[in-house]
Structure 1
């Protein structure tokens, strides 16, 4: 299967930002401009995440999606603050190719099924933010931008969202987010082995070797990164050349 490289744009108040473990945010540019840049660089898809949405109760900004989608040819995945099938429809009409839901998927799982029935499973991604619990020796799912721990174990929730009709999983290790120490290979592989839908590794990419490991060790279908691309530490093109030379099939 062809693996994908996906830059992620975390957007707050119409600007791209990047933080460490979901906090300490700094400005990283204009979303539409960055999107055009990544499209030219050979990114396979883009994730556009309104991180102000579920924390501060805001709806995702439709205008920025329209502006961005109008300028790029690759699929645009949009998440953050999406609570209803109507919200999904607005974003898809604005130019989003797929919708990513996280907090809503947990609080109202029927939205996954409804969305899949209305728009097709291929349009519905469930984002799963996980954190390791030392006490319980287990990965648990978190919601509300990583602020609230749930009772769901990561692998159990992954199986559940597939059953409910999700077409893909975007798995983020909160322990690794923004740390640049590499993806959490262990949980990525566990989730990948537990489901038959595509799994994107997210949280912790610091270099090209980390992205290679997500593909070769965890068998992830896609690798998502933000900091290393936004701050020009490497490029999508460099990553693709590197993994291709090591036998990974990328576009």
Structure 2
């Protein structure tokens, strides 16, 4: 059985790791290279960097951060935020990232997923989907702009489309669970994992060590992504993995 991956997420703004709720009340958490190295040494399986400002000025800072981080860590590094063209993908990969995470641009221009996979390989292309259940509970829609805009696009159908277009992985954030610290959205994860055959990373809602066990015992998610629980030292990656091993969930120690 493949081991389950534990992935810390670093929101980066102007070269610093920040944390807030829905990008408001951002607090400086520290230097991304130092934090990334710490997580690397702690046993993280991968790292995700999100450039949350994704401005033109911020992009240069982010490239510097990616280059310095890639020199210090020896686990796969995924970078997202403001990636909207093949040139953006090439630039981020050249800076040392192993994968790129494409979010809004995949929704606005799905051809970018196709072209990116053809030129750089499926293993480089992660499509990040932010999904929210609609009011009547019948389906989930893709949202953009931090969950504020409902695109009306069915999340499960779109997941199938990006898989066909060559995406190597889906990073699925539940906007209903995000920030609640009440656990991952297992209903959404199961619905999506049932319709695709590529790996799915669970994101949104993690608040305790037990939530990692819940998501792996109750869904087919291949990986779980979290931020606050690690940044604020509420749990260490080592503690999470030891807990999972106790329940015979395969992890890389």
**TM tier, shorter chain?**
over 0.9
Q: Which digits, 9 at most, give the CA deviation of each residue in 1:106-163, with x for residues without a partner?
A: 1111110111001100100000001122245421111233332112111111111101
- Tell me how far apart the structure 2 counterparts of residues 17 and 126 of structure 1 sit (CA, whole Å): 23
Q: Is the 8 A contact 2:22 2:146 kept in 1?
A: no
Q: Which residue of 1 aligns with 2:69?
A: 68
The Cα shift of 1:238 comes to: 0.4
Q: Which runs of 4+ in 1 moved over 3 A?
A: 21-24, 56-60
Q: Which residue of 1 aligns with 2:42?
A: 41
Q: Which digits, 9 at most, give the CA deviation of each residue in 1:183-219, with x for residues without a partner?
A: 1110011111110000000001101110111111012
User: Structure 2 regions of 5+ residues with no counterpart?
Assistant: none
- Tell me how far apart the structure 2 counterparts of residues 137 and 17 of structure 1 sit (CA, whole Å): 35
- Tell me how far apart the structure 2 counterparts of residues 210 and 98 of structure 1 sit (CA, whole Å): 26
- Tell me how far apart the structure 2 counterparts of residues 23 and 33 of structure 1 sit (CA, whole Å): 24
- Tell me how far apart the structure 1 counterparts of residues 147 and 85 of structure 2 sit (CA, whole Å): 20
Cα distance change of structure 1 residues 23 and 189 upon mapping to structure 2, 3 Å threshold? farther
Q: Which residue of 1 aligns with 2:3?
A: 2
Bigger drift between 13-22 and 169-178 goes to 13-22
Alignment of 1:129 with 2:130, yes or no, is yes
The Cα shift of 1:237 comes to: 0.4
- Tell me how far apart the structure 1 counterparts of residues 49 and 167 of structure 2 sit (CA, whole Å): 18
- Tell me how far apart the structure 1 counterparts of residues 146 and 214 of structure 2 sit (CA, whole Å): 26
3-state SS of paired residue (2:83)? coil
Q: Which residue of 2 aligns with 1:179?
A: 180
The Cα shift of 1:231 comes to: 0.3
Q: Which residue of 2 aligns with 1:208?
A: 209
The Cα shift of 1:98 comes to: 0.4
3-state SS of paired residue (2:84)? coil
CA RMSD of aligned residues (A): 1.6
